[in-house]
């Protein structure tokens, strides 16, 4: 007789396991074939009350759980190959599972990243969704954090700070009178936009890269520490959405909230000056916005963010902390 877990897997997740190596989710393992390639592996979990709010819609949780991992692959220059999923659930709630599985399947298809397997467990505590993702790239070409060199241009994709502002809106902070503008910020928090279309350009041109998950300021500090360098960033060059600019202008939030808030899931990379034009051209071909925001410097001090007058911006914190 099939268990409740077997029924759950068969109903909601076996239809997503389209890769032949997933073996229809009837085995304890899956198979990924690799010939002349490196396999890149990364994992991230999202936990209720830490990474998402209890009333966040299940479809946005499915997309966020997969996309935060896809974002890691993009920053490494890797192409998605598949993922495994672990769900810790308080109960089997079909009204929650159906939209979750549907959204997960849609994203798996859209990003070419099939479900390969996983586990479902019962928990008396908060809901937890963990994804371990696998990517492929040519042998020896993964872009690490430790390759930045003095003189490299610091670049970011998309816009910075929207997700932190969206979370503030969800928590009841009055940032804008325009409800539609607030909804756009909330969407950035709930549904990241991983830059996998840029993976090849990152792999070809970047000297170092990582995705921005805990905040631009803190993640740049991590990249610089790994590369044994420092950096200078022009705060005015950081790309912001119209909504974020309006909020900054109104004074309801400051630049620290935008660059230390986290959940951007944009790519942060360093690019040698002689590769910058080619990198921007490659980004344009895949319709991903990139902006140069500063330079890598010699030294081992923390990155410095400069205001419009060229003075360092004092910050109480550099990034979001999970603890």
Beta bridge partners of 115: 83
Helix 179-190 and helix 242-250, axial crossing angle in degrees, nearest 10: 120
CB atoms within 10 A of CB 301: 12
Q: Which residues are annotated as a binding site for Mg(2+)?
A: 28, 42-44, 72, 119, 211, 214
In sequence order, what DSSP letters do the residues of 194-262 get, joined into one string?
--GGGHHHHHHH-SEEEEESS-HHHHHHHHHHHHT-EEEEEGGGS---HHHHHHHHHTSS-HHHHHHS-
Beta bridge partners of 44: 131
Q: Which residues are annotated as a binding site for ATP?
A: 118-119, 145, 213
Rounded CA gap, 25 and 42, in Å? 21
Q: Which residues are annotated as a binding site?
A: 28, 42-44, 51, 72, 118-119, 145, 211, 213-214, 263, 320
Q: Return the SS3 of 321.
A: coil
Q: Which residues are annotated as a binding site for substrate?
A: 51, 263, 320
């Amino acid at each position: 007789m099939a268990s409740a877990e077997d029924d759950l897997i068969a109903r909601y997740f076996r239809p997503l396991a389209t890769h032949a190596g997933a073996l229809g989710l009837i085995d304890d393992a899956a198979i990924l074939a690799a010939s002349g390639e490196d396999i890149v592996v990364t994992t991230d979990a999202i936990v209720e009350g830490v990474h998402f709010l209890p009333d966040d819609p299940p479809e946005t949780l499915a997309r966020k759980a997969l996309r935060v991992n896809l974002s890691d692959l993009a920053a490494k220059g890797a192409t998605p190959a598949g993922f495994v999923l672990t769900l810790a659930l308080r109960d089997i709630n079909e009204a929650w599972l159906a939209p979750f599985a549907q959204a997960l399947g849609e994203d798996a298809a859209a990003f070419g990243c099939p479900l390969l397997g996983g586990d479902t467990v019962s928990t008396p505590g908060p809901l937890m969704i963990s994804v371990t993702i696998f990517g492929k790239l040519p042998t020896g070409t993964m872009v690490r954090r430790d390759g930045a060199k003095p003189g490299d241009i610091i670049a970011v994709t998309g816009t910075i700070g929207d997700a932190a502002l969206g979370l503030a809106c969800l928590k009841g902070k009055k940032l804008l009178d325009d409800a539609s503008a607030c909804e756009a910020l909330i969407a950035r928090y709930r549904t990241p936009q991983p830059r996998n279309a840029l993976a090849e350009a990152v792999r070809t041109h970047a000297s170092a890269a990582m995705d921005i998950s805990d905040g631009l300021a803190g993640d740049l500090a991590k990249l610089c520490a790994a590369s044994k360098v420092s950096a200078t960033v022009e705060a005015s060059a950081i790309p912001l959405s119209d909504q974020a600019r309006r909020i900054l202008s109104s004074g309801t939030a400051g630049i620290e909230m935008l660059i230390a808030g986290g959940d951007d899931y944009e790519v942060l990379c360093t690019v040698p000056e002689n590769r910058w034009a080619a990198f921007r051209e490659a980004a344009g071909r895949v319709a991903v916005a990139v902006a140069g925001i500063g330079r890598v410097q010699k030294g081992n001090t923390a990155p410095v963010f400069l205001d419009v007058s060229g003075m360092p911006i004092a910050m109480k914190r550099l990034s979001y902390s999970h603890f």
